[in-house]
Chains A and B, each alone.
Chain A
Amino acid sequence: MMKLKVSDLQEGLHHSEVVVSIHTTEGDEGLVLGKRSVERGYINVGYPIRIKGSSFLVELPRETSSGKWRVWVDKSQLEDAPEKVVA
Chain B
Amino acid sequence: MILTDREIRTAIRKGSIIIDPAPSEDAYSSTSVDLTLDPALTIFNEPKDGLGIDTVFDPMMRKVAAEEALKSVTKTIVISEDGFVLNRNKLILGFTREYIDLRVDTKYAARVEGKSSLARLGLSIHITAPTIHAGFDGCVRLEIVNHGPLPIRLRSGMAICQLIFEQTLGTPDKGYNGQFSGQKAE
**Which chain A residues have a beta carbon within 8 Å of chain B's beta carbons?**
1, 10, 12-17, 19, 27, 29-30, 32-37, 44-49, 58-59, 61-62, 64-67, 69, 75, 78-86
Contacts and interface: CB of A to CB of B under 8 A. Distances in A.
Nearest to A83: B183
15 contacts: A13-B67, A13-B76, A27-B63, A29-B62, A35-B138, A36-B138, A46-B172, A48-B174, A49-B174, A58-B174, A62-B133, A62-B136, A65-B62, A85-B179, A85-B180
A63 B2 CA distance: 24
Contacts of B172: 46, 59
B143 to A, nearest CB: 12
A61 B134 CA distance: 8
B185 interface: yes
A14 B180 contact: no
Given A19-B65, A59-B173, A66-B62, A37 B180 contact: no
A30 B68 CA distance: 10
A81 B180 CA distance: 9
Contact of B65 (A15, A35, A65): A65
Size bin of chain B's contact surface: 35 or more
Nearest to A26: B62
Interface in B145-186: 172-177, 179-181, 183-186
Contacts of B76: 13-14
Given A46-B175, A47-B173, A66-B60, A16 B180 contact: no
B16 interface: no
Interface string B105-142: 10000000000000000000000000001011111010
Given A37-B137, A65-B66, A84-B183, A14 B42 contact: yes
